[in-house]
Amino acid sequence: MPGNTVLRFDANGRFRVLMVSDFHAGAQFNPMLKTGLEALLEHVKPDFVMIGGDQCLTLDTVEETRDYFADIIDPIIKRGLPWGAVFGNHDRECGLPVEEEIKAYTLLPGCLAEAGPEDIHGIGNYRIPVLAHGGDEPRFYLWALDSNRYMKDYIPMFGLDKDTRFVLPDHFSDGSPDGQPLFDQIRWYYNGSEEIERACGRKVPGVMFMHTPLMEYLQILRNPEECGAIGSLRSHIGAAEISSGLFMAALERGDIRGVFFGHEHLCDIQGQYAGITMACDAALGFNMSGHDDLRGGRVIDLFEEGTMQTYMVHLMELMGKAAMRDPDYFEGGCKYFIRKL
């Protein structure tokens, strides 16, 4: 883990994570992004912040990116909070390559994100232990995985025919072209989970963070009663069309309590499938498509005995009309409506 920062459960046996995603902070960012982040941090009082992808920074150098991102996440930095990040699909379409952007992150105070192993796919595969309140034994792990970009990237990556189609007319998911963690990343998690079990003499529970939803998340959306789903869904879900095997690996290992996603600006549904909680966190950004009443962040409370709880906090619950985006300030994307109080 970078630096000397140690994550630890408090005296009540709780560790609180705030996940915020989809800043879409392009050539300039709406100052409401910082205002909203400030309000969330003040209300939630997290121990750690996970930034869930599609930061979408457009700077050309590591130094410029560092300074620009430092301005955006100043509410995190000034509180001295540790934080991490994963990359989204759009982070690979503007600004620095993610291989360079991660360097800018690691220059900032509190950053625990890492580029991750060089011999597997993706940038930002890493794990962080949360230690016991009264000792140095890991009680939980935070797992970050890169969900990469789009399935079309597999064509040159794996030497496939240039006309290969991944989304067919009768598709499994919602017909989206989105990517996912690849097999060597799943193997990295699986082997790491076994390594932790050997070292600790027991399985250590964990939660995972990535940008794009897994295909298995659709089971919750399509079977809301059976999966205890709560929250809002106002658009299709961009889950990968091919299952990566990550969900099955997590089931087999039996240590993952929850998997949390960004990517879906208009979805904050949570539910449980096969004993694993999965959820999206809508979006926090003001520069892209989104509904004002969904904009916010997701709280994940971890408990030292090995359980967890999660819920959404919406900016309009904290700020009322002040959380509504200026409809004249918009940087592309699809049109949307603003729900009024």
* 76 band by pLDDT with thresholds 50, 70 and 90: very high
Cα 284 from Cα 36, distance rounded (Å): 7
- Which residue from 102, 62, 82 is spatially nearest to 6, judged by alpha carbons? 82
- Say whether 91 sits in a helix, a strand or coil: helix
Report yes or no: 41 and 331 within 8 Å, Cβ to Cβ: no
Two structure tokens written together for 9: 């459960």
Half-sphere exposure at residue 19, Cβ-oriented, CA atoms within 13 angstroms: 29
The pair phi, psi for residue 272, each rounded to 5°, is -130, 130
Read off the pLDDT of each residue in 226-250 and give the average, rounded to a whole number: 91
Per-residue pLDDT tens over the stretch 267-306: 999 999 999 999 999 999 988 778 888 999 999 999 999 9
Read off the pLDDT of each residue in 143-153 and give the average, rounded to a whole number: 92
Read off the pLDDT of each residue in 205-229 and give the average, rounded to a whole number: 95
Per-residue pLDDT tens over the stretch 108-143: 999 999 999 999 999 999 999 999 999 999 999 999
Kindly list the structural domains of the chain, giving each domain's residue range(s) and its CATH number in brackets, ordered by start: 17-321 (3.60.21.10)
Cα 321 from Cα 325, distance rounded (Å): 9
The per-residue pLDDT of the chain, averaged, comes to: 91
Cα–Cα distances (Å) from 102 to 77, 81, 124, 341, in that order, read: 17, 18, 8, 39
